[in-house]
A and B are shown apart, each in its own frame.
Chain A
Amino acid sequence: MIPAVHLDLRAHACPITWVKARIALSRLAPGEVLELLLRDGEARENIPRSAEEEGHEVLRLAPAPEEGPGAWRAWLARGASGEVPSWP
């Protein structure tokens, strides 16, 4: 499986990290994969959880020391629903 899009979010802080990831996911077709580079801490903890809450799949979440200290790599597969969740 090859990620369709790569996004390095290490220079950004919450909530821009998830905003950018969410927009990138919305541009993918269901099943396509977004690869993220994240900083350890808030982004590493929150982005996979937010993605799962919106119906995407976390395929992989692992340290990426080759990218520098504290770097993590996440692979998120776009969920089947093409819609942004709406008000309940």
Chain B
Amino acid sequence: MALSETEVARWSRQLLLPGMGEASQELLRGARVRVTGGGLATAPAIYYLAAAGVGTIWIEDSDPVTPGCGAGFALGPEDEGRAKGAALVEFGRWASGFLAADPYRAGSRPTALVVCGSSLDVSRAIADEARLLRLPHVVADVDGQGGAVTTVPVGSPCYSCGSRPGLGAAPTAEGGAAMGALAALELVLLLTGASTEPRARRIEVFRGTPLVRATARQAGCACAGPAAAGLAP
């Protein structure tokens, strides 16, 4: 369905970007993105997905809002004690009147995931679930004031294959904001087909310097199985 007058007005600047147009904006509007993992990149990722015109975001975060929980980007002291997922749903609705934001419910069928794990183990587990469900996903690792974002198109080297140890520094809100924004951008490029090769890639941002490299499959990884070759049902 074509964009409405109000949608054209709302996304006018983005509609002028190279690689973007009415068709890409429609793809974003039709996307259903599950944002999950409970890490510091969550709120910024929600904000930038909403600002890009993603139509539906399902948020999964069962922790309560606490001081220093990293939701300061989105939430204030008045939210402390509330369920973070519900508060972030409200934040998403505030970020864009065009967005349907809701808590993620088991059995929902997202078209893509943004994984903002509170630890690498959490991210690995969710990313593996996304791989098995054959859903494109982007993983944000926050590491100190930077971190890394791994983009995993369907059938490409998995997050475990693509990631490698970083500095191992304590995550900061600044790192969360940067990696959340970058993860949202990577997913927008992936969903609209506007990203350039290599699409399966990892962007590392340490000490302010970004490094982009194609991800490669590790020998013996489960992601090299029939699902990766597109042979699974």
Q: What residues make up the interface of A, taking CB atoms closer than 8 Å to B?
A: 15-16, 18-20, 22-23, 26-27, 84-88
Contacts and interface: CB of A to CB of B under 8 A. Distances in A.
Given A86-B196, A87-B196, A26 B19 contact: no
Given A23-B15, A26-B23, A86-B196, 18 more contacts: A15-B12, A15-B13, A15-B16, A16-B12, A19-B8, A22-B16, A22-B21, A23-B3, A23-B21, A26-B21, A26-B22, A27-B2, A27-B22, A84-B24, A85-B19, A86-B19, A87-B18, A87-B19
B231 interface: no
Contacts of A27: 2, 22
Interface string B191-212: 0001010000000000000000
The 9 closest A-B pairs by CB, nearest first: A84-B21, A86-B19, A19-B12, A23-B22, A19-B15, A87-B18, A85-B18, A26-B21, A87-B19
For chain B, the bracket of interface size reads: 10 to 19
Interface of B: 2-3, 8-9, 12-13, 15-16, 18-24, 194, 196
29 contacts: A15-B12, A15-B13, A15-B16, A16-B8, A18-B16, A19-B8, A19-B16, A22-B16, A23-B8, A23-B15, A23-B22, A26-B21, A26-B22, A27-B2, A27-B22, A84-B18, A84-B19, A84-B20, A84-B21, A84-B23, A84-B24, A85-B19, A86-B18, A86-B194, A86-B196, A87-B18, A87-B19, A87-B194, A88-B18
- Identify the interface centre among A22, A23, A88: most chain B CB within 10 Å of its CB: A23
A19 B22 CA distance: 9
B181 to A, nearest CB: 18
Contacts of B9: 16
B187 to A, nearest CB: 16
Contacts of B13: 15
Contacts of A86: 18-19, 194, 196
A85 B16 CA distance: 10
Contacts of A15: 12-13, 16
- Identify the interface centre among B3, B9, B15, B23: most chain A CB within 10 Å of its CB: B15
A32 to B, nearest CB: 16
Nearest to B3: A23
